[in-house]
Structure 1
Amino acid sequence: MERKHRWGSSFLLMWLLAAEGVYSAPRHSSSAASSRTQFPPGAETERVLAGTKGFYPTSLEREGHPVRPTPTSTGKNKDPLGLDGLFDALGDTANLPNELLSEFLPGWDKNYPVTVPVSAYKPASADTTTSATKPQTEPETSETSTAEAPSQNAPEATTDTSQTSSQASSTTTSATQSSSSSSASQAQPSSSASLTTTASQTTQAENSITSSVVQASVTSMSGQDVFVPLATGPIPQTITARNDHPVPKKGIENVTTPIETNKFYAGLFLGSQTNTTFTHPYGVSWAKGSGNAQSYGMAISHNEVNVVANGPTNTNIPGNPIQYYINPIGIQHMILSATELNTSTVLTAENLLPFSADAVLSPTPGSSQRITIPLVQGMGFVTGMYNNLQPLIQSGVFFNKVVTASSPRIGIYKYKVSLADGTEWLVYAIPQDGKDPDFRLESNTNFRGPSGWSGTIQITKNPAGASGEKLLDGSSGVFALEAAVSGSVLNGAGTYNLAFAKTGKQLQETPLLMYALPHHVESFDNTTKGRMTSISLRTTTKGNATAVVGETWTMLEPNLPTQMGFDPWTVSSGNVNNLSAAAKQVILSVAPTELNQSIDQQSDLNSMYYSGKALSKFATLIYTVNKLGGNPDLAASALENLKTAFSRFIDNKQQFPLVYDSVWRGVVSSASYGGDSGADFGNTYYNDHHFHYGYFIHAAAIIGSLDSTWLTDSNKAWVNMLVRDAGNSAANDPYFPFSRSFDWYHGHSWAKGLFESFDGKDEESTSEDTMFAYALKMWGKTIGDASMEARGNLMLGILRRSLHNYFLMESDNKNQPANFIANKVTGILFENKVDHTTYFGNNLEYIQGQSIHMLPLLPSSPYVRSQNFVREEWNALFSANATDPASNVTGGWKGVLYANLALIDPASSWNFFAQSSFDYSWIDGGASRTWYLAFAAGQYIPPDSLLNNVANNVAGLGGGPA
């Protein structure tokens, strides 16, 4: 099967399995001329593009995220790191031509039958068993010859490869698919189908390769499937379509399916196309003529901690943590290239799927010669599939020694590589014709193979000596092409699988090797734990990744908040919907002040984000009065006003109406079509959709729960459109990609959309990420969509685990650097760096609070923010004797901090919000005093003596609402 057709079959597979406020300027300025780089102490301070130093984009990379102001101010803040514009380290690439390709180049994969993951996005009732085992122990490596790397200017040096040539061995594979009925409105393939790949046979060796049908492995699950899709029909008629999105697609013009805008591989088709794709633990980027090797191939990097740059220490925080740490960009440890690649080389991106994409390098547009590099999250080998090229393995770090080693099995030729930085790598060459490729070391940057060569080359780092080499040998020859997720929830426990489609040589008997992140390992079931290996590699921002053998992983999430509703919730008591009489008296005394605010004015803004926050705020306020306060009549008028305000958006008559972007496929704000890429947080560019739309979904869930007559087909369709855009469960939806924001590999969402970023995607607001999952859960509950409700519950469970591991750092955190965890929260976590700051300022209340890690405070907050974490954070940063006492904070941040205090000290939180001298300027525009009182009362019963005569003084408290 040619690779250009694999996308079609893969999409068919996914289809079968899925059938059922005010913003300031954006971070990027194209006119920026002043830039700087920063290096570790003692390193050169001049620009270094490759070698063993690389460059460090220590700017916050303002391109891609507008500055978010505080709840009570709208002024821009200077770059917290004091670095403006783009970094001068990009000077060599900034002016390279950015020609667009007119069409896809033809693919190549003639000799690779494929096993595909089953039960992807479909019911977990597909009952199959895992057959993956650890690789058999291989004989000790035999070094038949060695070659010391010549000096950089030496004319030539070679390796003596004396391995025996052989025909490619017979490979048999296939996949049987299980699927269930679709809820899509369009015609679907049959509910049960099998996908068989047919190998092209163009040489004598190819004649031994066949395809048949064999079942891929996945652990059986039971319970509510979390990926039953919503109807995939057209978007509401009030939303008009546009085909002129300001960001063009580079090299993907022929892809007509929805494109994942927020996934790890976006650098392949944005800007200079040289941004790193972080697969973890490896980084892969197009060299595009840069570095010591001046290569046009695909560079592979893996950085150890010794090259990481640390920011300055913050003496205002106990423990004096560093402000940030950052990995270098541009270190080209190994490069998959070819002699034919040069200045005319083009990069295309193909097969753009939720967990994978193919990077394709061709000497010229339209050439049938190509290297296809499948990029899959967690891949154990970086693999290049060559078609009729002279392979050239390069290094910008310099080869120190290359050793021809004994073959792991017939048809696989192995080389051991030592680089000048002391790291050890393995190279496996699998020729299509089975003949010894006889690679020759020509210089300390070039290791060249035969001309006109077709086959596969795999590269991997070996951190574990002889034992690691045996394990890597055992999985050489096969590699992942793509992945799929499935999951279910039953009786408060969740299970989800990641299944990897593999291809390669001797497929059935060769197990796949992939890398798992710490939160995966922590939740593995016993079967998956038994397939973990001793190989571990550092990731850029998430601790160490562990190599795991097998095509499927099963993760368990117990204690999901399945019973959580709209009421205050605690870990020990669950829902708290019966407040004391004293609490109700205070709440109902305070509520009229906020109920009388203009919902229409506060939600009629030029921002989907702030408009959504306002609607969610009033929905929560109305619910509090209606259900928790027990006075629906008091809230009745506000509920009608809320429906009217919400209808403005359903009718698409807000200041910047939504449009359907038919280029990338999604619903976006029209604000940036006028030229300002930073308008509304870059919503038009797919920034923050889970934040923006999550507030609308949450508000709709409350409205529908209070008045079921509001749940008309048109209202539900509009809200479901937002769900499909930001958190789609369907892989075959022609209008939206699968799970745009939430990354089921990383266990959290990515906020950055279509902005070029050398530090990769980033996530700033863990609390709003949690809010989106909670909103899905509650909207699903409101409309009776059990799958959506279960998906929200499972996402909450995964988020609690991933945020604990990477973002909300308790003192015993093992995944962030020891000299960083005293910050307590990451601030902004990129794929390549972590920076304890925000896009709008460095105040601790900004970083720890606002939407970054606290706001909005919802029933889901105590589930994700553990009491131990909140206590450590409060005592270190906000207590009376701490660095930045909450009592000294001004504006809306003060309310945020004291609402968060309810998680560990609800009495003090209640007393703060119930005080007779309360100042409404302490309340963020997206929150209410009424809800904060109920939130605290859910964990605290105030005595009558603490009423503070609120009922008699509410009209004059603090000068009224802000």
Structure 2
Amino acid sequence: MGLFKHLVNGLSKELHNHHQKPQNEQLPSAGSPDQPPPLYAESDAFAPPPIPKRDYMTSDYTKSEYKDEKKSIANPASRNPVPPQLASYVVSQGIFDSPISTAPPVGSIQTTSVHPVPLPSFYDQPGPIETNNFYGNFLVEDQNLPVWTHPYSVWKSTDDQFKGLGISHTEASQRVYGDDPLSNPVKYFFNPVGICSMMLSAEEFQSQDFDFRVGDLQRFSAGVKLIAKTGGELHVNVVQGMGFITGIYDGRITPRLASKVGIQNLSLSGSLSNGIQKYLLKLFDNTEWVVYSNASFSQQSANSVIAQPYNGQIIVQIAKLCGEKSQQYYDEAAGSYVTGCTLSGDSKNGSCSYSFNYAIAGSSRSKKVLQWFLPHQINSMDQSMRSSLADGLSLDSTCKGSMSAFLIQKFIMVEQLPPEELKFDPWSDVNGVKGYSDNAKSVLSKVAQEEIQSFDVVNESDTDSMYTAGKILDKGAFILYVAAFVLQDDDLTLAMLGKMKQAFSRFIENRQKAPLCYENNWKGIVSTSGLNDGNFYCDFGNCFYNDHHFHYGYHIHAASLVALVDTQYGDGNWVNTARPWIETLIRDICNPNSKDMYFPVFRSFDFFNGHSFANGLFAHGDGKDEESSSEDYHAYYGIKLWATVTNNIQLLTVASLILSIEKRAMDLYMLYRNDNKVMPPNFIRNKVSGILFENKVDHATYFGMNKEYIHGIHMIPLTPMSNYIRSTDFVTEEWNEMALGPLASSIDGGWKGLLMLNLAIYNPQQAWEFFSKPDFQMSWLDNGMSRTWSLAYCAGMGGC
């Protein structure tokens, strides 16, 4: 989970109950007459039940009655939860080539120009802004905290005599471990920040401040300009994995390179055929750096070198030397630099090939650039990339192992997509989809009847939190699925389907206690809770773009199950009612194409790091972070199922690719088997990361230090996708080595049920016995869990 998610758990509900829609001057509502019409019309074929009145003065949800509308059902004996017309992973065009929609957000969501976080100063930014991206520290507050491109970090520095763009690289030997550095496992490790080994600066910056502006913000890169008061400027493209930190001086300012570490020696090492000169710098910490430039430099002091007068644009490229062959490969790439990166991909035969395609400026001997890649990318690279490996070059990343360098124009990776059968039913990496025994169905039938009768999803989901409401809706959707496709009980299914449609109608019509709005500054769907007063405690910081994939992922997944059931038990029109709203949420977190001008491309998922980041518009000294691996992949699992139900093969493939990347990356960086070779040996015995930052890993949560919190937050929710990411081998090791069995026996509350349902991955029989025992207590279930789904999951995994 992201920043502040659970800090509000102890706050009274009254803090949120009185939040109203902003009373400011509104922009035209999405889909209004003076904006383009929606791509798909909102169908009136299914009229949702009336919205119950809300009482803002009550601290609990408002009670209301729901209608149980029973309909005739065709072919009740032949229930197939998978739409038969859906093709395999075969897309006729590139999987990233088309947006989900280019229409405005769904018309029930109003537009506002109010947001508590001001936009930064731009030099050029025509489109939506990436709120959760690696360069987030350049966008908020003083814009002076580090940005990690890996293996380097860069930051705006305004220190006396060191004004410019600071550059650092830290090695594994510099990591700081704690609380007790001699323990195994340690609780956390981080890398020191602000070690200014090198700096891109200018003489003109030293006597007066410079203006710092950002622009050309893309998924993999951002531009920054440092503008002197005299008008000259330094332009740097900050790119994930960049091999050189490249500064382009416009000819009106004098390049100055600085180092707080100090420069022992500067030496000219020759010229390249493209007119670029090469300088070697040895610092007082004995690290060696190389500078390439079309200008000449001389040492000015122990901390700086300065360029000689030059007529015209100057390029300066800086990199850290890392072995005997590094100069050889750097020479091949010097003079060229990356200005941007786009994604391309296609799928066939159950696998997906995807590429980082680099936009290259300048000129180098190889006509290529040097880029660094992380272990999960190296493990998945296409065989054709091997010839581009810069053999022998290695630099440490902060938290994700050693990186390798390549001389390339594009980098191609291949992933095996999730198995075709991994959809709605429990799936095991040992047995696949096993099905349900008659005995299991008998027990399930009794539990489902009791739970459907007692669970008031309509009113319990009427909260002021998209996160909490999403969990409760998902709880109901799982119960509905079991009734429809496991038990195939018409009466139970129709009763629960009516409840779910009524509960969802409140959100589709945007009448919940804290309605959503389209925020037109940063451009996205945010909760109005906290929007006017800037209270980041409201709904876990949703209006600050925290945790959107967690929050909306529950709604998307729940809607997928409701739509699926409605196609076979209802009139099949609910998907048309829900689709504009659900796909607006999907676009907010997982827009695959920049032609959709209402949302940034892939707000949450970071294709370079291999997982999402939950932290939104907050400055943080250790960069972006993520606390819950499981709620991360649950979002894309929900999108995968929605694409399945709506027969959107392109979106299905995008979501499936993300899941396959997360499986690989999380297995290295967040979920640690004993054979993990990437993370520090004195950390992997924690078994899970806790909070994974860009510069730190802390075996903790934002809401407490209990072991069940730290491990449980990487389990929630347990779904058919869980065993795909959380391998049986990992779950077995974690359960035994962390003594989760005795822990589960010693605690009460929802974490107990969560731990025990996780046990079903490797010991489904014991998990089944727990959830089916006569003295089972409903208080052992998290508010997003049902006993019905818990039993179905255990049975489907082979527990009964």
**TM (normalized to structure 1)?**
0.72
C-alpha displacement of 1:699 = 0.8
Is 1:525 equivalent to 2:367 in the alignment?
no
Distance 1:917 1:908, change over 3 A: same
C-alpha displacement of 1:559 = 4.9
C-alpha displacement of 1:802 = 0.4
Distance 1:914 1:722, change over 3 A: same
| Structure 2 counterparts to residues 54-133 of structure 1, below 5 A | 65-68=3-6, 74=10
Distance 1:879 1:660, change over 3 A: closer
| Structure 2 counterparts to residues 790-829 of structure 1, below 5 A | 790-829=653-692
Correspondence for 2:130: 260
Q: Deviations over 1:79-118 (max 9, x none)?
A: xxxxxxxxxxxxxxxxxxxxxxxxxxxxxxxxxxxxxxxx
Q: What is the letter of the counterpart of residue 314 of structure 2?
A: G
Q: Deviations over 1:442-479 (max 9, x none)?
A: 111110112465210000001113x1111111111111
SS of the equivalent of 1:645 reads helix
Unaligned runs of 5+ in 1: 1-22, 24-63, 77-182, 187-220, 431-436, 943-962
Is the CA contact 1:184–1:230 (under 8 Å) kept in the aligned structure 2?
no
C-alpha displacement of 1:240 = 1.0
C-alpha displacement of 1:572 = 3.4
Q: Distance in 2 between matches of 1:602 and 1:486?
A: 43
Is 1:854 equivalent to 2:715 in the alignment?
yes
Match of 1:725 among 588, 596, 605: 588
Correspondence for 1:327: 191
| Structure 2 counterparts to residues 312-323 of structure 1, below 5 A | 312-313=179-180, 320-323=184-187
| Structure 2 counterparts to residues 551-590 of structure 1, below 5 A | 551-576=409-434, 578-590=435-447
Identical-residue share of aligned pairs (%): 38
C-alpha displacement of 1:390 = 0.6
SS of the equivalent of 2:234 reads strand
Correspondence for 1:458: 317
Q: Distance in 2 between matches of 1:782 and 1:475?
A: 47
Number of equivalences: 716
| Structure 2 counterparts to residues 173-184 of structure 1, below 5 A | none
Q: Deviations over 1:644-669 (max 9, x none)?
A: 11010111110110011000111100
Correspondence for 1:237: 107
C-alpha displacement of 1:690 = 0.5
Q: Deviations over 1:363-386 (max 9, x none)?
A: 13xx64110010111000000000
Is the CA contact 1:184–1:229 (under 8 Å) kept in the aligned structure 2?
no
Q: Distance in 2 between matches of 1:562 and 1:744?
A: 23
Correspondence for 1:876: 737
SS of the equivalent of 2:163 reads coil
Is the CA contact 2:528–2:543 (under 8 Å) kept in the aligned structure 1?
yes
Match of 2:145 among 268, 275, 283: 275
Correspondence for 1:894: 752
Q: What is the letter of the counterpart of residue 302 of structure 1?
A: H
Match of 2:467 among 609, 615, 625: 609
Correspondence for 1:311: 178
Is the CA contact 1:579–1:941 (under 8 Å) kept in the aligned structure 2?
no
More displaced stretch, 511-520 vs 703-712:
703-712
Q: Deviations over 1:697-720 (max 9, x none)?
A: 101111111113244544211110
Q: Distance in 2 between matches of 1:556 and 1:474?
A: 27
Is 1:397 equivalent to 2:261 in the alignment?
yes
Q: What is the letter of the counterpart of residue 113 of structure 2?
A: N
Is the CA contact 2:255–2:307 (under 8 Å) kept in the aligned structure 1?
yes
Is the CA contact 1:224–1:786 (under 8 Å) kept in the aligned structure 2?
no
Q: What is the letter of the counterpart of residue 95 of structure 2?
A: V
Is the CA contact 1:485–1:744 (under 8 Å) kept in the aligned structure 2?
no
C-alpha displacement of 1:236 = 1.6
| Structure 2 counterparts to residues 350-429 of structure 1, below 5 A | 350-364=215-229, 368-387=231-250, 388-429=252-293
Correspondence for 2:626: 763
| Structure 2 counterparts to residues 640-789 of structure 1, below 5 A | 640-673=498-531, 674-708=533-567, 709-789=572-652
Is the CA contact 2:167–2:199 (under 8 Å) kept in the aligned structure 1?
yes
C-alpha displacement of 1:747 = 1.2
Q: Distance in 2 between matches of 1:456 and 1:890?
A: 63
Match of 1:867 among 728, 741, 746: 728
Is the CA contact 1:827–1:847 (under 8 Å) kept in the aligned structure 2?
yes
Q: What is the letter of the counterpart of residue 550 of structure 2?
A: F
Q: Deviations over 1:279-330 (max 9, x none)?
A: 000001011126xxx3111010001123221112499xxx830000011111
Unaligned runs of 5+ in 2: 13-36, 41-89
SS of the equivalent of 1:503 reads strand
Q: What is the letter of the counterpart of residue 476 of structure 2?
A: F
C-alpha displacement of 1:889 = 2.2
Is the CA contact 1:521–1:529 (under 8 Å) kept in the aligned structure 2?
no
| Structure 2 counterparts to residues 38-53 of structure 1, below 5 A | none
Is the CA contact 1:561–1:793 (under 8 Å) kept in the aligned structure 2?
no
Q: Distance in 2 between matches of 1:776 and 1:255?
A: 29
Correspondence for 2:166: 299
Correspondence for 1:14: none
Is the CA contact 1:252–1:269 (under 8 Å) kept in the aligned structure 2?
no
Q: Distance in 1 between matches of 2:575 and 2:724?
A: 32
C-alpha displacement of 1:245 = 0.8
Distance 1:222 1:791, change over 3 A: closer
SS of the equivalent of 1:569 reads coil
C-alpha displacement of 1:600 = 1.5
Distance 1:902 1:65, change over 3 A: same
Q: What is the letter of the counterpart of residue 250 of structure 1?
A: P
Q: Deviations over 1:722-759 (max 9, x none)?
A: 01000001212111111100011111101011011111
Is 1:592 equivalent to 2:455 in the alignment?
no
Is the CA contact 1:224–1:790 (under 8 Å) kept in the aligned structure 2?
no
Is 1:516 equivalent to 2:373 in the alignment?
yes
Q: Distance in 2 between matches of 1:224 and 1:571?
A: 31
Q: Distance in 2 between matches of 1:693 and 1:614?
A: 12
Is the CA contact 1:562–1:793 (under 8 Å) kept in the aligned structure 2?
no
Correspondence for 1:168: none
More displaced stretch, 803-812 vs 588-597:
588-597
SS of the equivalent of 2:513 reads coil
SS of the equivalent of 1:801 reads helix
Q: What is the letter of the counterpart of residue 651 of structure 2?
A: M
Distance 1:452 1:245, change over 3 A: farther
Q: Deviations over 1:821-848 (max 9, x none)?
A: 1000000000010000000111111000
Q: Deviations over 1:209-236 (max 9, x none)?
A: xxxxxxxxxxxx9866432321210112
Structure ranking higher on relative contact order (CA contacts 8 Å, 6+ apart) = 2
Q: Distance in 2 between matches of 1:680 and 1:253?
A: 33
Q: What is the letter of the counterpart of residue 728 of structure 2?
A: Q
SS of the equivalent of 2:798 reads coil
Q: Distance in 2 between matches of 1:254 and 1:535?
A: 36
Correspondence for 1:337: 201
C-alpha displacement of 1:779 = 0.2
Distance 1:765 1:300, change over 3 A: same
Correspondence for 2:214: 349
Correspondence for 1:494: 352
C-alpha displacement of 1:888 = 1.1
